[in-house]
Each structure stands twice: as structure tokens, then as C-alpha cells.
């Protein structure tokens, strides 16, 4: 396959590119500043315009797939989340819409159109859903900043379906990796024997190991019957309190020092919703289709990452 990845230098994009190249596929990774990036061996870096298909759109002609992962980081680029100012929120939303618009332009101009577009999204699509209600791909979207952003993100490439291109939407949960994402900051208090639940600890955390994220995307790329939204998260989500207890068990650290919700909101502002909101999301479509998770439960997943 020839696969184009927008946002190919991020956590998921880099891991996916490396995986595809290892299996002999051609990978083109789009980046706004490819000269300043380090790409996995065998991956071709190409500059992309942040708003249009200028400079790279011709590569879509004859490509097998486009995986659209591009978008400004929700939590910022440092270890600790950055507050959501009005300008940051605008950039988070607009960067996703612009990337989707560029992908749609590239597909429209291609004589030989890609077979599939994988459109990134997030489990935040469903909003904050307190309680134990099970959320599947047929559940309605929620409200709030992140839910509204994911709706717009998903809609940004909807036009490729009218061109006869198969489109898959990946609503990704909390990706477990030590490279970036939620896990490095989550385990930091445990290193100082001060770990514990965030807020009430009753919020459900739909997580997925990075290896399974990549495996699921590969499955959706290659399974020609796959279409529409898919929840990319483990079939065994945990409440935040249980997740913290599992981290403590794996790291041999206590897990009973809670961080109050008011302290998180005071320190982080609105972005605290990333860890305080929850929903009991399940990968119903992947399960129905027989997808086999490598790390379906939290303890083996965390041991794989924290005890290497």
C-alpha cells in the first residue's frame, strides 16, 4: 500500500508509519516543517500547507489510503497541560477543520482516488457521561468544547464519501504510551509516592495501548467492509480510581492520595475536563467484527509500558 499520513509526526502517526514501513508499505508523512522532524527509517517526509492541499495534493492520486491525524495538540506540547485560552481553543478547532478540508481537496482532485480515508476523532465525541451507561458507536454526540470539536473534525472529511471513497472514523480513547499523552503525567505523582485518583475517581477512563491503536488502524485500513465510526478503546475500561490502583500495583506505590477536582480546575482551568470527564465507552464494532486486542486489560498493558 501507499499510505499518506497527515499529522504523521505525532504519537499515533509515528507509530503507525513505523509499523507500515516494517511490513514493506510506502508511507508519506505530511508535516508543516519536515526539515525539522525526524521520521522513522523508510518514511518519506513531505511538507504540507496547514489549510490546503497545496504542495502535496498530487500525492493522493493513486494512493491507497489517507490517514488524517492532523490537529493542534489538545493539551499543548509540554509535559503539563496548557490552559485553554480563547485563541488556543480556536486553533485546536480550526487546525482540524483545515486539515480535513485539505484532505477533501486532495481526494477531489485525484484521478485515481484513494480507496479509504481514515478520519481521526476522539472518544470525547460523546461528551461527559456520568454513571455506568455503556457508550457505543450508535450513542449520540455530547455537548461541550471537546465534543463540539470532534463533531466538526469528523465532518471535515465527510465529502469524500460522495466521491465513492470509503471513510472510517476512529474515536480514540486515552492512548497509553510513555512517549507522550496522558500516561507520563498520570504516573508522575506515583514516582513520588503521592499517586491516587483524580477528582472523585468515579469517572470512566476508556483507554487503549498504543500497540492496539496501531493494530486497530491497520485492521480498518485493510478491512474493505469497515466504514463509519469505530471506538478505539479497550473492551475493559476502568474508573479512574481503579486505573490509579492498577498503576500503584504495577509500580509498587500507594494509590490513595486523591487530587481534588477543585484543585485541578483551579490549576488547569477548563482543560481539567480531559481527566475529570468520563464515559464508559466500548469498542462494540471492533468486538462484533472479531478484532483481537493484544492488551484488553489494564494491568498487562501498564506492565508492558512501565516494567520494560
The C-alpha torsion from 21 through 120 and 208 to 187, rounded to 10°, is 100
pLDDT of residue 78: 65
CA distance 204 to 235: 12
pLDDT of residue 82: 78
Residue carrying the nine cell digits 516494517: 22
CA distance 256 to 245: 8
Contact by Cβ (8 Å): 32, 6: no
Number of domains, the chain: 1
Contact by Cβ (8 Å): 129, 279: yes
165-192 pLDDT, tens per residue? 999 999 999 999 999 888 998 999 999 9
pLDDT of residue 140: 97
pLDDT of residue 35: 77
Task: Supply the range of the domain harboring residue 275.
Answer: 2-306
- CATH code of the domain in which 216 resides: 3.40.50.720
Q: Which residues of the chain have pLDDT under 50?
A: none
In whole angstroms, how far apart are CA 292 and each of 18, 173, 210, 216, 242?
21, 17, 14, 9, 23
Contact by Cβ (8 Å): 45, 34: yes
N-to-C CA span, the chain: 32
Amino acid at each position: 500500500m501507499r499510505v499518506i499520513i497527515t499529522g504523521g509526526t505525532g504519537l499515533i502517526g509515528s507509530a503507525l508509519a513505523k509499523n507500515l514501513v516494517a511490513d514493506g508499505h510506502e508511507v508519506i508523512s505530511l508535516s508543516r516543517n519536515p526539515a525539522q522532524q525526524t521520521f522513522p527509517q523508510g518514511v518519506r517526509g513531505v511538507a504540507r500547507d496547514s489549510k490546503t492541499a497545496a504542495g502535496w495534493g498530487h500525492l493522493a492520486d493513486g494512493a491507497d489510503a489517507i490517514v488524517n491525524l492532523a490537529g493542534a495538540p489538545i493539551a499543548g506540547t509540554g509535559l503539563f497541560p496548557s490552559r485553554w485560552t480563547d485563541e488556543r481553543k480556536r486553533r485546536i478547532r480550526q487546525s482540524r477543520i483545515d486539515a480535513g478540508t485539505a484532505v477533501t481537496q486532495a481526494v477531489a482532485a485525484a484521478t485515481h482516488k484513494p480507496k479509504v480515508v481514515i478520519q481521526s476523532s476522539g472518544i470525547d465525541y460523546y461528551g461527559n457521561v456520568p454513571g455506568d451507561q455503556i457508550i457505543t458507536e450508535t450513542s449520540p454526540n455530547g455537548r461541550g468544547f471537546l465534543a463540539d470539536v470532534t463533531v466538526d473534525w469528523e465532518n471535515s472529511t465527510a465529502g469524500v464519501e460522495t466521491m465513492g471513497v470509503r471513510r472510517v472514523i476512529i474515536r480514540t480513547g486515552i492512548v497509553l504510551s510513555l512517549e507522550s499523552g496522558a500516561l507520563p503525567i498520570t504516573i508522575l505523582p506515583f514516582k513520588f509516592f503521592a499517586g491516587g485518583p483524580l477528582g472523585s475517581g468515579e469517572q470512566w477512563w476508556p483507554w487503549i495501548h498504543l500497540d492496539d491503536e496501531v493494530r486497530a488502524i491497520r485492521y480498518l485500513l485493510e478491512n474493505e467492509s469497515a466504514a463509519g465510526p469505530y471506538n478505539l478503546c479497550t473492551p475493559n475500561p476502568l474508573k479512574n480510581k481503579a486505573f490509579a490502583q492498577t498503576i500503584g500495583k504495577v509500580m509498587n506505590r500507594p494509590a490513595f492520595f486523591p487530587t481534588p477536582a477543585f484543585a485541578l480546575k483551579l490549576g488547569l482551568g477548563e482543560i481539567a475536563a480531559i481527566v475529570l470527564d468520563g464515559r464508559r465507552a466500548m469498542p462494540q464494532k471492533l468486538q462484533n467484527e472479531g478484532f483481537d486486542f493484544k492488551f484488553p486489560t489494564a494491568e498487562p498493558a501498564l506492565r508492558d509500558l512501565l516494567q520494560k
